[in-house]
Structures are given as C-alpha cells and as structure tokens.
Amino acid sequence: MWLLFGSLSLFTSSFGEKPRPIVLRTENIILDIKRSPFQLILSDDSGKRISETIPHAADEESSWGIYNDQGWDPIVNVTSIQEGERYSIEASSRSGNPVQIIIESVNESVLKVNISAPQNKTVQSLGLALVSEPNEKYRGMGQRFNGLELRGQEIPTDDQEFTVPLPFYVSSNGYGIYIETNGIFTVDFCTSDNSTLVFWAEGDSLTYYWMYGPQPAEISRHYTEITGRMMLPPEWAFGMWKWRDWVWNEKEVYEDATMLQSLDIPASVIFIDSPWSNEYIDYEFNPNQFPDPERLIFDLHEMGYKVLLWIVPFINPYADNYSEAERNDYFVKTPEGEVYQVRWWRPSGTDEMGLHSDRTGGMIDFTNPEAVEWWQDQLKKVIDLGFDGFKMDDGEHLPDDARLHNGKIGRQVKHYPLLYYKAVHDLMEREKPGDYVIKSRAGWPGSQKYVPVHWGADQNADWDMDRGLPSVIRGGQSMAICGFPFWGSDVGGYRWGPHRELFIRWTQFGAFCPIMEVGGKSYHEPWMFDSETVGIFRRYAQLHAHMFPYLWHYANVAVQEGDPMIRPLCWHFPDDSYAWEEEFEYMLGEELLVAPMYRPGNIRSIYIPEGKWMDFWSGEVLSGPFRIDNYLTQLSQLPLFLSVTPATHELFLGPLLNQQLTDFESRVDYFTRGLKKYILKPPLERLAEQMNTFRDSFPKTYCPCTTEDILQLEAGVSTFNVYLKGEYQRGHFPDHVYETLTQRLEMIALNIMLHEKLFQVLDR
C-alpha cells in the first residue's frame, strides 16, 4: 500500500525560514514537488532520479505551460497545495493565468497527473517538457516503420504514414509516459534541444500517466492495465492466412483454397478483400464476381477454412443503402451540416466489375447509437452468409473539421478507430461469441480490447528501410511494446509483386510472427514462382502451424499479464545498451531469438545477447554477449537461435545440440516435434481440447484416403467437381504446378468414385 505525506504549508513557520519540500511517496517511487519555479522530480525508492520536468527560466521557453493565441505561457509559481487522497496544486502562469494540477497515485508505480486551465477561454493546448539524458533512448508511440529509436523525431497524431499513433513511450531511464487523450497530440523527442523532450495535447485539460518500471516490460504492463488488455483470438487465428487484393471472380478464391491443399501447405483462414460488393459498401455481393457467395463460404468451410471479409467505415453515394443513412443523419457532417464526402484510396478502374470509380464516401458516425445499430444491421447481412470475421480497413481518415453526433469535431475524436472496432466487436459477440476474428489496420489506446489481430499496413514489395521488409520488422516490435501482441504483415509486401528472394525472406519472417498471412497486389502465391520456392514456403508454413502450442502459450500470457509475443531485445535485456540499438532482431516468446534477413544476400550482422544460445542450423552453442559480424546463411534458412536452458534442452534440442541432424528438412521436422511437446504453464487448461480444435481447423489432405476418410468426403464433392469439370485448363497455372495439380485432381476423382460406389453398396 502506498502512502502520501509531506509538508503542505507554503508559509514559513518563522521569519526567513524556507517552506519545507513537498513529497509524494509510494512503495516504489518518490515525487518531489518544487514550488518556484514549479517542477516535479520523480525518483525511485532509493532516491535515484528517473525523470523530471524542466522548470521555467527567464531565458527559456521549455517548461510546463499553456499555448494560446498569444504564444507559450509557462507555469512559473505554485500558490497553494491541498492534501487529501490526491494533491491539488493551484499555480499560475507567467501572464497570471490560473492553472490547476491534480496528482494522485494509481498504484505504487504509477502517478496520474492532470493539468487544466479552466478559467482561460483562449487556451488551445497544454504541455510540458521533461529532461532528456544524453544517452536516454525511447521506444513506443504506436506502429513505427522508420526506426525503433524515437530520439530526433517529432510525432504528431496525424502522421498518416503511421496508422496507429499511440501517445505512449518507454524510456531507457526506467519510466514511461501515457497521454490520455482522444484528440490531437504531439511528442517531440529532442528535435530542437537534445536535452529536452516536449509533449502537448489540444484542449484546456491534459492528463498523463507517469509510470515507473524500471524495466520496459513492467512499464508496458502498467500501460495495458490502464488502457485494457487484449482479447484472445480463437485457436484457428494462429494458422496461416491467404488473401488476394482485387479478386476478379470466385474462381481465384477456389484456386487459392485448392492449391494450398494440393501443395500440402497448411492454412486456416482465407479472407476476401476489396472489391466484393455492388458498391462501396452496400453489403450485397457483386454477382459478376460472386454469383453464389453463400455456396462459396459453405465450400470453404467444408474444406476446413475460416473466412473473413474486408470492410471499411465508408459508403459511397452510389450504394443502395446510402440514401437511408443520409436521411437518418448516420454520417459525419461538414461544418455546414452536409454529409462529409471523405476522400479515400479506393482505386479507379472498377468499371469492368460494373462499379463506379468514385473515390469519396460518407463515414459512419459511430458516436450516434442509432447509426451504430443501423450499420450493425448492414454487417449482419454478410455474417448470416457464414463469415467468421472481418478485415477492418481504414478508420484513421476522419477529417479534423468533421462534425459528429456527440457535439465534438473530428480533431477531438481521434479515437474514431476504437469506436469503429467496438461496433463490430459488440455485434460479433452477439452473433458468434468467442469464435471470430477482427483484424485492423488503424488503432488507438484501448482498441486492443476489441480487435485482437493487427497487420502492418500497406508496405512495398522491396527492401526499402522505411516502407519494405525492414520496416515491418521494426513495426511489429514497436506495436508489441504498445500492447498489440497479435500482429503480422503481408508476406511479400502489399504494393507490387515481390521478386523471389524477397518473397522467401518475408516468408521466413512471417512464419515467426504471431500471425502469418500472405497476399497483396499482383502475385503473392508461392506457386507463381518455382518449385523450390513452393518447397521453402511449405516448410515455413508447416513450421508456423506446428508452433501453435508455443504461440498459444504466449498468447495467453499476453492476455493475462500484458507481455507481448514479439519482444524487442531491450525488453529482455534492458541493461544492455547494444540490445537497445538492435532493430532487426527480436525474441518470440522467451526461448526463440529471431534474426530475419532484411537485406538481399546471405550475410548479416547478428548480436547474441547474454546467455547460452544454440544456432538452430549448425547446432553450435554460443555464449553471449557478443556480435557475429558476418553470419552466413542459405536462402532456405532463417537465422534462428534457441535459448539453452534445462527446459528447452528437454523440449527442443536433443539431437540438434549433438549435430545429428544436418539438412533443412530433418532439423525442421525435429524442431516441430519438440514444439508439439511444449508444456503450457498453469493456470492454462484445456490444452488437449484446444490442440484438437486447432488441428481440426486445418484443411484435410484428401489423398491417400482411408474408408473412414472417404465417408467424410460427401459434403466436399460439389466443391471438387468444380475443378474436375474443367474450370482450370492448362496455362492457368505455371507449368511446374500443373503436374502436381493434375495428380491431385486424379486422386480426388478416384476418391469421389470410391465414395459414390461405397454409398451405393450401403444403400442396398
């Protein structure tokens, strides 16, 4: 239990005696409150300074303060302090404006600070400055692609390159800051002064949480305790996902479903992306693409897949449901009271599908309960077809001057993505409780409570450091720090088609993420490359599938304790300065050190942190910390290291340590057998049931079949007849795939024939 105490008098007890210092103390931290100039100093329980605000000086503008039309008005004096369950501080700015500051303990390691200027009608924003030590490092602030280190960056709310702007960061000094706001904020990490970090938020009140760790893991846990822990996805979410951008007809969906099975590539999810509806979005399938969507979903379910559908919070003026939404004021409005036609990225060239190419639409006003209910009824039309969840695109494009039902304007409702996701979450909880997945691109503090899966936006199919494969290796780590553990990226990138080496390297990285998905513009199918690429992709997809017990364990840890699944090295090794520098390595759980190849070629530098680590491929045991400057690997190999402990030795290592297994196939096979034995820790129960559920969610391999298998083929006959009747002709696939597909179809035909004969016998 924490205690509050201190001398509260601002007056001297005798002439000339200075007021005694004011101190707020908990079990773990000490907060000194300085009166004039006003300053807060946060220390640990030993008295070591962790963080401090910058007091106002006559020749400096950096300090606490108010920003209004006259400029920056710093807080300079404390006029009174009242004690109770919290400290209430009355202060004044340089121009004499009154300011109130409330400080209270949330727990023994977290302080909540609120600054307000209620009597100042001209206030535009409030902010403060913190001292930054010369070697201090910063992590967090949402999904960051251009580098994990935040020093030297100014990060505003509306940085559209980063779809998840989160006002939360972790410092290597042992503290973190979370700014609680639904509006515009900016954090300036020492861009103008190397010793000063500044943050501010719009409005006449600013609330932030000052969190002491001292470890990054503890700070991140505090953050998720405040904003909410993530929901646990169903088991099938941890299989491989397949999708295409611009599905021209259902034939392409069937192609993916069949080819994955034909090539023995395990997958559990297929989702249908844009475009699919008559218009964006009337929630009716375009018959030119999908003449019988209900049958399509049924067939995919029979093949063992779960099926998701792409949606956005827009409706364009050509959609049949637009007029109803407009008539009932379900859209956000312009300042003049008209429907705000928001421009978004919908591509032109949809005329071939019978669609309009208009790139604007009305955004659903999720602050209006009636609009939410109406929109949920629209979604229910496709849920009733059998969909198992949604890919929720966009959400970050609400205009700053939009007018909403709750009386706010857009710049005050930057949590629009959270409202968007909650509407779908609440609907799915009613319709398919516990057995659905929502996947999102945007985000806001707290949205992890409603959307379990997040993907790394639309990256380039290249090696670009800020927009290609290296960028998502950073993005997954920065999201993990901020409470989003179930993350993945589009294998091969989204924009354009990847070349072979990039596709393979991205495959390897994707397999060692919580969510593995493949898809994008142009070709992202492994069978569109060559047989070697198919083989490598298959092995890593199988490896990801067999990692389920390991991933499921750490998924439960994430939900229960707030620890991410992907962990930057500084998470586990916070006292190691080299761990803070490393951007392209991470831990997956506690046992696996992953070092993806993020540049062309077979050589990269790898940092081995403290401890004993076994090189997965060579079996060599390494003792860290040290750096391997020129680690050599092969195209089929992802640099991977196993933490050598008694537990991992028993579960994973065995012959690997003795170098009894030398080739790619045998080492992966042995490792996956070890993963299957991974023991979940109490209180996680139902392991056997969960494992059976997960295995059953994968498509069955239809040959060779036993009599029992044949009996189960009846429901799937209609699906496979599509292919037997000549839907796919030679030339539809590359030549190297045709032979494999032909052999599989012949076996399917044989199974169907045996199936029909068997039932003829049984019917007599």
Distance CA 586, CA 571 (A): 9
Does the pLDDT at position 754 exceed 60? Answer: no
Which domains, ranges and CATH numbers included, belong to the chain?
3-173+175-212 (2.60.40.1760), 235-312+367-396+407-559 (3.20.20.80), 587-696 (2.60.40.1180), 707-763 (no CATH)
Percent of the chain with pLDDT over 90: 57
Evaluate if residue 677 carries a pLDDT over 60.
no
pLDDT tens digits, 634-666: 999 999 999 988 777 766 777 677 666 777 778
List the beta strands (DSSP E) in 539-585. Answer: 566-568
Is the predicted pLDDT of residue 723 greater than 50, yes or no? no
What's the confidence (pLDDT) of residue 430? 96
Which token pair is 120? 């100042």
Which is it for the CA torsion 129, 130, 131, 134, positive or negative? negative
- Give the per-residue pLDDT at 710: 33
- 213-241 per-position pLDDT tens digit: 999 999 999 999 999 999 999 989 999 99
List the one residue out of 642, 637, 605, 603 whose CA is nearest residue 620: 642
Cβ(314)–Cβ(280) below 8 Å? yes
Question: Can you give the pLDDT at residue 645?
Answer: 84
Report the predicted TM-score, pTM, of the whole model to 2 decimal places.
Answer: 0.87
> Mean of the pLDDT values across residues 506-517?
97
pLDDT of residue 687: 34
When mean pLDDT is compared across 174-188, 333-347, 365-379, the lowest value belongs to 333-347
- For the chain, the C-alpha Rg in angstroms (whole number) is 28
User: What pLDDT digit, counting tens, does each position of 136-147 carry?
Assistant: 999 999 999 999
CA distance 508 to 357: 37
Tens-place pLDDT, residues 681-717: 322 333 334 334 433 433 333 233 333 333 333 333 3
Cβ atoms of 705 and 713 within 8 Å: the answer is: yes
pLDDT of residue 149 exceeding 90: yes
* Distance separating alpha carbons of residues 25 and 3, to the nearest angstrom: 6
Beta bridge partners, 361, equal 342
In tens, the pLDDT along 528-537 reads: 888 888 889 9
pLDDT digits (tens, 9 = 90+) for 62-113: 678 888 888 888 888 888 888 767 889 998 888 888 999 999 999 999 999 9
Q: How far is CA 187 from CA 49, 155, 159, 184, 319, in A?
A: 22, 5, 12, 11, 40
**Per-position DSSP letters for 436-471, written without gaps between them:** -EEEES---TTGGGT--EEE--S-BSS--TTTSHHH
Average pLDDT of the segment spanning 269-298: 91
Burial of 9 (0-12, 13-18, 19+ CB in 10 A): exposed
Q: Which of 173-182, 201-210, 247-256, 579-588 has the lowest mean pLDDT?
A: 247-256
Rounded average pLDDT over 587-599: 96
**What's the rounded mean pLDDT across residues 161-177?**
91
Average pLDDT over residues 591-605: 97
Walk across the sheet containing 592-594 and list its strands: 566-568, 586-588, 592-594, 640-643, 603-615, 621-632
